[in-house]
Amino acid sequence: MDLTLRVWRQPSPDAPGSFETYPAEDIDEHASLLEMLDIVNDRLTEQGVEPIAFDSDCREGICGTCGVMVDGKAHGPMENTAACQVHLFNYRDGDTITLEPWRARGFPLRKDLIVDRSAFDEIISAGGYVSVNTGSAPEANLTPVDKGTADLAFDAAACIGCGACVAACPNGAAHLFTSAKLSQLNMLPQGQPERYARTQRMVTIMEEYFGSCTNYGECQAACPQDISIDFIAMMNKDYRKSKFRNRRAS
């Protein structure tokens, strides 16, 4: 099929950027969006034009490396799908596709479609873990976890850290990302001892980089893993409680 691409090109963080138009002709409809970019990049290279820089790695929707606004939607038109899993049979011959980087204060742009998401790592390092040194763990089956809780913890833990929630949010908030990790750990027995200290620290770091949540719900709609905004409610509840608990503890 024949498509037309409008792509944001920006050579470096400080240089001005602009949209460029490229033809993407004679592409197999079974190719993925990113495979189409590979093909276009090979053709650009032949023509002496520097290829479009974009992030991707596993191309199975699990590593969270890829992330691009496709016609104004984070990861493109399909529900619960990362950009690497969008295939062209979802488009019509002759369509124009516009590709832009994630745009958010917490994600400074690096080049073309690539942004810096290291603020997510900072949020995790502020308490997104259970403090258990290697070798000090008790026998695994000593602590049963009811299946409902275990399954819900998994649903939260499924977050791939791609940043689509932030990109989709009109406020550039990272509440879905942060609450997913908090909810996973805060609902499991293993996560209880650090529950409130963790919550307060992670939320504080989150607020340094990202905007506020005003319940648009765009984050859940954009999430390739269908992470529920219910986790944001759980986080808010734990955050309020943490103000009392942590005061008492200190």
Site for another protein in 98-117 (CB under 8 A): 110-111, 114, 116-117
Identify which of residues 150 and 233 has a Cβ nearer to another protein in the complex: 150
**Orientation of helix 118-125 relative to helix 175-187, angle to 10°:** 30
148-163: burial string, b at 16+ Cβ within 10 Å, e else:
eeeebbebbeebbbbb
Judged by CB under 8 A, which of 25, 103, 150, 244 binds another protein?
150
Residue 42 interacts with another protein (CB under 8 A): yes or no: yes
CA distance 29 to 36: 10
Q: How far is the CB of 215 from another protein (least distance, A)?
A: 27
Contact status: 215 vs another protein (CB under 8 A): no
Among 1, 63, 197, 221, binds another protein (CB under 8 A): 63
Site for another protein in 177-196 (CB under 8 A): 184-185, 188, 190-191
Q: Which is nearer to another protein, 113 or 173 (CB)?
A: 113
Report the C-alpha gap between 141 and 67 in whole angstroms: 38
Q: Is 147 in the site for another protein (CB under 8 A)?
A: yes
The residue within the footprint of another protein, chosen from 5, 8, 33, 55 (CB under 8 A), is 55
Q: Which residue has the tokens 């969270």?
A: 64
Query: Quick check: 173 and 212 in contact, CB under 8 A?
Result: yes
Q: Which is nearer to another protein, 103 or 214 (CB)?
A: 103
Of positions 41, 171, 220, 246, contacts another protein by CB under 8 A: 41
- Residue from 160, 174, 219, 235 that binds another protein (CB under 8 A)? 160
The encoded tokens of residue 158 equal 């499924």
Closer residue to another protein in complex, CB, 72/193: 193
48 binds another protein (CB under 8 A): yes
DSSP string over 48-95: TPPPPP---SSSSS-S-----EETTEET-SSTT--GGG-BGGGS-TT-
Task: Give me the residue label for tokens 């290279």.
Answer: 45
78 binding another protein? (CB under 8 A): yes
Give the Cα separation of 71 and 163 in Å (integer): 17
Entry field: residues in the chain = 250
What is the Cα 1 distance to its own chain's centre? Answer: 30
Counting contacts by CB under 8 A, is residue 120 touching another protein? yes
Is residue 161 involved in binding another protein (CB under 8 A)?
yes
